[in-house]
Amino acid sequence: MTTPYVPPVHQLLALGEAKRQDVEHWHDYRSLGFDVEHVPELIRMATDPGLHGADGDSPEVWAPLHAWRALGQLRAVEAVRPLLYLMAELEHDDWLLEEVPDIGGLVGPQAIPVLSEFLGESERDRYARVAAGHGLERIGTLWPEARGTCVAALTAQLERFAEDDSTLNGFLIGYLVDLDAKDALPTIGRAFAADCVDISIGGDLEDVEIELGVRAHRDTPPKMPPWMKSMRRAVSRVIQQKDREAAARARRKKKAAKAARRKNRR
């Protein structure tokens, strides 16, 4: 049974299915009466295991998503840490992985320390850490005054390239490119030289130098076919999606088995 929620938070239990859309097209949750005083209750809803495990056809299963979007619109920095750890716990929830970076961008510079700390936690799921890095990129892009701090945080993590997963390193380099971080090139170069970067994400060092505008053209044959280069990071996203789909199939199978056991007990 769903834990009761007080007004106006309880309204989110009935909103139902949401669409994948840019932040600016999200529902205006503040129009429902939300304010900073509702942040604790929204965090409770966003992280409620009962709601995350609700029937897939019920409106309640969408309530956590509406709650974390509302928290982003309220710029609730205290929600960032719980959402990051929820993301690590529900590591195959693609909605979380896609939207936590956007929430970081909405919260702004206050979220940098939390995102940076989580990014550095090597025991976490690689894509949860990728999302934390993406959140830093979002902040650096949307809040120009914080760009330098975000670049420094991403570069500091990339300096641990030998300890980290090559996929994570590839995404970090991509976010540094997005932030036009030419000053990170020495670290980027060392990561490539050590063969610690998955080039399927954003290409090799020459590709990165071209994107950053410090190289006019390649001196060596490309290591990826042109179609792959033009779809920057696409390969890793496909792999990531397959991983999530496999996990989703496993969850559906588990849920169906549980439902069958309940039926047999009747």
What is residue 266's predicted lDDT score, i.e. its pLDDT?
A: 53
Q: How far is CA 197 from CA 173, 203, 249, in A?
A: 9, 9, 30
> Which amino acid is it at 14?
A
Cβ neighbour number for residue 215 with a 10 Å cutoff: 14
- The CA distance from 93 to 100, in Å, is 11
From 191, 174, 188, select the one nearest 138 (Cα to Cα): 174
Tokens of 141: 């892009």
Q: What pTM does this model have?
A: 0.83
Measure the CA angle with vertex 26, ends 11 and 35; round to 5°. 50
Residue identified by tokens 């909405």 is 106
What is residue 250's predicted lDDT score, i.e. its pLDDT?
A: 47
Query: Would you say how long the chain is, in residues?
Result: 266
- The CA distance from 30 to 234, in Å, is 35
Q: 7-27 as b/e, with b when 16 or more CB fall inside 10 Å?
A: eebeebbebeeeeeeeeeebb
pLDDT of the chain, 266 residues: tens digit per residue: 456 899 999 999 999 999 999 999 999 999 999 999 999 999 999 999 999 999 989 999 999 999 999 999 999 999 999 999 998 888 778 899 899 999 999 999 999 999 999 999 999 888 889 999 999 999 999 999 999 999 999 999 999 999 999 999 999 999 999 999 999 999 999 999 999 999 989 899 999 999 999 999 999 988 765 555 555 444 344 444 444 444 444 444 444 544 544 455 55
What is residue 2's predicted lDDT score, i.e. its pLDDT?
A: 56
CB contact set of 135 (below 8 Å; sequence gap of 6+): 100, 101, 103, 104, 105, 111, 115
